Structures are given as structure tokens and as C-alpha cells.
């Protein structure tokens, strides 16, 4: 046998030996595999329906593709459960689904021991809480009290939510009964995320967040399980009425951090700080008494807000709307969106306030009112309002004159103007006072005619007498109307010349409408008061008769008729 044949025989023997060794190792490995065991397999082929896995047995295992959430690639390693080493067809039966269940139970035990969260999906509402799908056919119970970090008003809102959960229990009464807790996970996450935020974020930094909810004073922004506040005043440098005009619920936005309070766990955010504060340059553009244009943005009971430019709004108080009109509501003059011209009356840059006036861009009619309606002017105008003290008479739109009740008549005592005037009535009046500084014009009706008091004084001086008419009788005396229409009082002490006769007896001699002769005691035209006397009239009458007698006796015979005779006749 030559050398080559010898080498060939030795090679064949060595190959047979290696093959025998491999077979022995293979058989030994097969003996170590047990049905139900979790083993690793290598993907050797993928078809539309099945995945073929080599688990180290004489034939590969076949797994339906439906057991995979995501199909593996050839060469990938997958965990499977050896169901049967060899069925009647000589096939190896393996299951990835059962392997997933085994692995998940293993992971759940580990999560329970290590207090780490697991993934799940809230699928449906059940009594007292929710059913959570943890995968691989394993479901858990989530109590409603542990389902969210906030009170759950509508359970349906959580259906379909993917989240992480803490495992609180796996078994009960030796049966699988998994209970999970989402609330604690959210609270822990919130604490961790918030602490990281305060440790890593500074004032002035830009952060991202999602608009979570609205309040009357702004919007809460979810920064990762914890909230920051976007105040309504930090949405824009201008006036903001509704937060929803600037951000929408669920919207992801970038914001500036403008305030951090680690102790109170408060975070204030801003949209407006992405642009420069327009108030920094206010005095470069605006000055007091400048006439500017702006747009009405908001109406209130006390006035209107007017935007001069983005970020700068001023208030026109209702008192600055008109020189002459009394404005009850701002909407009577302007409406939102109106372009108006106004004057800057004042400003406070620190407070971000501007005072504006609408009336100041028009002429003030009160400046020329004295020229238009000088004292003595006679007018026919309409009564627009009655009060206890008098009546307002419209001179022109927005300007009324006041007619006091005392200026209605020289002689009549008028208690209420309603007895003489009605609203809407046109009357003739005279301007008797013009006070443009205080915006007051006073009118009179009685001034249209001559003052009867002055006329009376020019004719009837104290000491003179006249015949009048009794117009009223009071407990303190009798009122008498004199020629010309003025009224004076005969005091009860002056009604009778008999001092022993009481007033109650003396007054019985008179009635309203009676003619009566009186003596003028005193007249005060400024106060429109006059005092008359019946007693003094009679005394004057006697004095006049005595005087006449004395004059006659000096011109007569021997004076046989004496003064005593005269008095005697009077007494009789």
C-alpha cells in the first residue's frame, strides 16, 4: 500500500470519528431538551405564513407569522417554548406565543420585586376600574382610584391609553390576579421630571409643552407630567381677553421660562417674551397731548380699551368720550373694531398704562358758550327733564340749561315744577347765568316780565295803604294779594286794633276772596316778602281823620266841636 492510500485511509477514519462524536453530542443535547422548556432558536427562513427556527434538533420548528408583532429577519434569535420534540410526522413543535407568556410572567415578577413599571394598554371599563392589556394574553385590573394623577370624571377618556404601570400584585388565592397602579407611576414620573426641570432649566430658557387646560386667567401647559402656567398677561404685550384666541388645547408650543419657584413648585411661562417689550420705546414715539389713531379692542362699563400698536393699549374713560353728552355705556359711542382718533392724556410706563381721550380731538362747545348764549338771551326750547328743584331745558344736543323752580314766577309759590311744566313742552326762557368753567347755564321764565316786587316798591312804600284780596288764611295770619299780584302777610298780631280781641275771634270776620284794606309795614323785594297790617291801617285812618278835623277846625267857627267829641263819636 503506497503512502497516498495510507493517508486516505487515515483521513476516512478521522472523518468517521468526528461524525460519530458530533452525533453523540447531538444526541446528548437532545436528551437535555425538555418539552415545555424555553429555548433560543435561530431564524433560518421566513415565508408569508411561517417562520422556520433552528433549535438544534434534527428538524426545524415552524411558527405562524401571526405570533409575531414584527417579523424577524433570517439570522435573528428568538425565544420559543419546545412544545413537542417530535410529533408523529417527526416534526419539532415550538411556540413563540407561549415563550412570550413565560417571558412576560418572568418580567412581571421582576417588575414587582424591583418596583419598575411595565407597559400596557387600558382596553375597557370594568366594575371599579379598568381592564389593562399587558400583552401575550395577560390582563390586569386597574382600580379607578389608581388610574390617573387627577380625578377621573369620564372613564371613557382613558380607553385606548398606552401607559406604564407599577405591578402591585400577581396572584390572589393561588390564582393569577394581576393588579397594576398607573397613578403612582404618573406621580413618580412627574416628581422626577419636575425635579430634573428645576435642576436643568433656568429663567430665560425656551421649553416645549402641550396646552392642557384653560382658566379665566390663562392656560396650563403640560411640561412632561407636570404643569407650568401661561398667564393671560404673558400671552401678548397687548390686551388679551380670551386665552383661547392665542393657544389651542392639545397644541404643542414653545415658551419662555420667566419665573421658577422650586419651593412652591411653580413655573411661569410666556409667549410674549419672544419679542421685545414695546413699552421700552414708548416715549420715543408718544407724548402727552399727541393725537393718535387706534383700534377699539374691548368695552367695559367704565370705558373702552384702544390699541395704539401691538402690545400698547390705552383706556379712554367714559368721562372722556364727549364734552356735552352724558354717556351711560361705552357701546353708545364706539364698538369693538372701530378705528378712532384720540389724544394721549397721560401714561405710566412701569404700570403699562395710557390714558386716552376721545372728546379732546374735537372743540369744546363750552369754550364759546358765553358768546353763543349771553345773559339776557331769550330762547324757546323744550323741557327734557323735571326734578324736585326745577327743570332741564335742552338748548342744543348735549347742552342743557337749568330752570330753577324759584325762577318760574315772581309771585306764585310753586312747590314742584311738575305743576307748571311737562317733559316735551316748549317754553320761552331767558339766560340769566352762564358759568362755562363749571358747565352750567341757568334759565328763567319770570325774568321775561318785569319784577312786580320792584313795581310794587316804586308805588307802595312802607306807611302807604291799599285795598287787597285775601288769598289764604293760616294759623299765624292772613295772606293778602296786592295790586300787581304780589302777596304779603298780615300777621295775626296785626289783624285787629283791639288788643283784647284774640286772633281766633278776629279772623272769623274774614274769608278767602274778601277785600281788605291794609297798611304796608315792610317790603323786601330781594326776599320777596311783604308785611301788611290791618291794625296799623285803622290807626292811620284815625290819625288821618284827626288831622283832617284839626285842619277843618282851624278854618271854621268858634270851635264848639272838640277833639273829645270826635273820639266819643268814634267809640260809639
For every one of its 572 residues, what pLDDT tens digit does the chain have, with 9 covering 90 and above?
Answer: 555 565 556 655 555 455 555 445 544 444 556 666 777 888 888 888 888 888 776 667 888 888 887 888 888 888 887 776 666 666 777 777 788 788 888 889 999 999 999 999 999 999 999 999 998 889 999 999 999 988 888 888 899 999 999 999 998 888 889 999 999 999 998 888 899 999 999 999 999 999 999 998 999 999 988 899 999 989 988 777 788 888 999 999 999 999 999 888 899 999 988 888 888 889 999 999 999 999 999 899 899 999 999 889 999 999 999 988 888 899 989 999 999 999 999 999 888 899 999 999 988 888 888 888 999 999 999 999 999 999 999 998 888 999 999 899 887 888 899 999 999 999 999 999 998 888 899 999 988 988 888 888 888 889 899 999 998 998 888 999 988 888 899 998 888 888 888 888 888 888 999 999 999 999 988 888 899 999 888 888 888 888 887 776 666 555 455 555 555 554 44
Terminus-to-terminus CA distance in the chain, angstroms? 208
Q: What is the pLDDT of residue 21?
A: 54
Is residue 140 classed exposed, middle or buried when 0-12, 13-18 and 19+ CB atoms within 10 A define those classes?
buried
Q: What is the pLDDT of residue 30?
A: 47
Q: What is the pLDDT of residue 275?
A: 86
CA atoms of 35 and 86, how far apart (whole Å): 10
User: pTM for the whole thing?
Assistant: 0.47
Question: What does 356-385 look like in DSSP terms, one character per residue?
Answer: EESGGGS--GGGGHHHHS-TT-EEEEEEEE
Q: What is the pLDDT of residue 146?
A: 93
- List % helix, strand, coil for the chain (3-state, nearest 5): 30, 40, 35
CA atoms of 79 and 107, how far apart (whole Å): 14
- DSSP H or E segment with residue 399: strand 399-404
Q: How crowded is the C-beta side of 307, counted as CA atoms within 13 Å? A: 17
Q: What is the pLDDT of residue 26?
A: 45
Q: For residue range 248-270, list pLDDT tens digits in order.
A: 999 999 999 999 998 888 999 99
- DSSP H or E segment with residue 453: helix 452-459
Q: What is the pLDDT of residue 315?
A: 94
DSSP label at residue 233: G
Sheet with 50-54: strands ordered across: 61-64, 50-54, 38-46, 77-84, 93-95
Per the CB < 8 A criterion, the answer to whether 132 and 141 are in contact is yes
Q: What is the pLDDT of residue 565?
A: 55
- Spatial CA neighbour of 82 closest among 53, 48, 109, 107: 53
CA atoms of 268 and 265, how far apart (whole Å): 10
Beta bridge partners of 92: 61
Q: What is the pLDDT of residue 27?
A: 45
DSSP label at residue 482: P
Q: What is the pLDDT of residue 503?
A: 86
Residue 356 to residues 21, 331, 341, 388: CA-CA distances in angstroms? 104, 16, 10, 36
- CB burial of 397-409 (b: ≥16 within 10 Å; e: otherwise) equals eebbbbbbbebbe
Q: What is the pLDDT of residue 324?
A: 84
Amino acid at each position: 500500500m503506497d503512502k497516498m492510500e495510507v493517508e486516505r485511509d487515515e483521513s476516512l477514519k478521522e472523518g468517521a470519528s468526528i461524525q460519530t462524536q458530533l452525533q453523540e453530542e447531538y444526541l446528548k443535547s437532545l436528551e437535555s431538551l425538555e418539552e415545555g422548556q424555553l429555548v433560543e432558536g435561530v431564524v433560518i427562513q421566513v415565508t408569508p405564513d411561517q417562520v422556520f427556527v433552528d433549535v438544534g434538533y434534527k428538524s426545524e420548528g415552524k411558527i405562524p407569522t401571526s405570533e409575531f408583532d414584527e417579523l424577524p429577519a433570517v439570522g435573528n434569535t428568538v425565544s420559543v417554548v419546545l412544545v413537542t420534540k417530535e410529533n408523529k410526522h417527526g416534526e419539532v413543535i415550538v411556540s413563540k406565543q407561549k415563550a412570550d407568556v413565560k417571558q412576560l410572567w418572568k418580567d412581571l415578577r421582576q417588575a414587582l420585586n424591583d418596583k419598575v413599571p411595565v407597559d400596557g394598554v387600558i382596553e375597557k371599563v370594568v366594575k371599579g376600574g379598568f381592564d389593562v392589556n399587558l400583552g401575550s394574553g395577560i390582563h390586569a385590573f386597574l382600580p379607578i382610584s389608581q388610574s390617573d394623577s387627577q380625578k377621573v370624571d369620564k372613564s371613557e377618556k382613558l380607553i385606548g391609553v398606552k401607559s406604564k404601570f407599577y405591578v402591585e400584585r400577581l396572584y390572589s388565592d393561588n390564582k393569577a390576579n394581576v393588579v397594576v397602579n398607573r397613578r403612582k407611576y404618573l406621580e413618580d414620573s412627574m416628581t422626577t421630571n419636575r425635579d430634573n426641570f428645576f435642576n436643568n432649566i433656568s429663567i430665560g430658557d425656551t421649553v416645549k409643552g402641550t396646552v392642557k387646560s384653560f382658566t379665566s386667567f390663562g392656560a396650563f401647559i403640560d411640561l412632561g407630567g407636570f404643569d407650568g402656567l401661561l398667564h393671560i398677561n404673558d400671552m401678548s404685550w397687548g390686551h388679551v381677553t380670551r386665552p383661547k384666541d392665542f393657544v389651542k388645547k392639545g397644541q404643542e408650543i414653545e415658551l419662555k421660562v420667566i419665573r421658577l419657584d422650586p419651593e412652591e413648585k411653580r413655573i411661569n411661562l410666556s409667549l410674549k417674551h419672544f419679542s421685545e417689550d414695546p413699552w421700552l420705546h414708548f416715549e420715543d414715539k408718544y407724548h402727552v397731548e399727541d393725537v393718535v389713531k387706534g383700534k377699539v379692542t374691548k368695552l367695559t362699563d367704565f370705558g373702552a380699551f384702544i390699541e395704539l400698536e401691538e402690545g400698547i393699549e390705552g383706556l379712554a374713560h367714559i368721562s372722556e368720550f364727549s364734552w356735552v353728552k352724558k354717556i351711560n355705556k361705552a357701546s353708545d359711542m364706539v364698538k369693538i373694531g372701530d378705528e378712532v382718533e384720540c389724544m394721549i392724556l397721560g401714561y405710566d410706563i412701569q404700570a403699562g398704562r395710557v390714558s386716552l381721550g376721545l372728546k379732546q380731538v374735537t372743540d369744546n362747545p363750552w369754550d364759546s358758550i358765553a358768546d353763543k348764549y349771553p345773559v339776557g338771551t331769550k330762547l324757546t326750547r323744550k323741557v327734557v327733564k323735571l326734578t324736585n328743584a326745577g327743570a332741564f331745558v335742552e338748548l342744543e344736543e348735549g347742552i342743557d340749561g337749568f330752570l330753577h323752580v324759584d325762577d318760574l314766577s315772581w309771585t306764585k309759590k310753586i312747590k314742584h315744577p311738575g305743576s307748571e311744566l311737562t317733559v316735551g313742552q316748549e317754553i320761552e326762557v331767558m339766560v340769566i347765568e352762564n358759568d362755562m368753567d363749571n358747565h352750567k347755564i341757568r334759565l328763567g321764565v319770570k325774568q321775561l316780565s318785569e319784577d312786580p316786587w320792584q313795581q310794587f316798591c316804586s308805588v307802595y312804600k312802607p306807611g302807604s295803604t291799599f285795598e287787597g284780596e285775601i288769598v289764604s288764611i293760616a294759623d299765624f295770619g292772613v295772606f293778602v294779594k296786592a295790586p300787581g299780584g304780589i302777596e304779603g302777610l298780615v300777621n295775626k298780631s296785626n289783624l285787629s286794633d283791639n288788643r283784647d280781641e284774640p286772633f281766633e275771634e278776629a279772623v272769623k270776620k274774614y274769608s278767602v276772596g274778601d277785600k281788605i284794606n291794609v297798611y304796608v309795614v315792610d317790603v323786601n323785594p330781594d326776599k320777596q316778602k311783604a308785611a301788611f297790617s290791618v291794625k296799623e291801617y285803622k290807626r292811620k285812618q284815625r290819625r288821618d281823620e284827626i288831622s283832617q278835623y284839626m285842619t277843618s277846625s282851624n278854618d271854621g267857627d268858634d270851635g264848639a266841636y272838640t277833639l273829645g267829641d270826635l273820639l266819643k263819636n268814634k267809640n260809639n
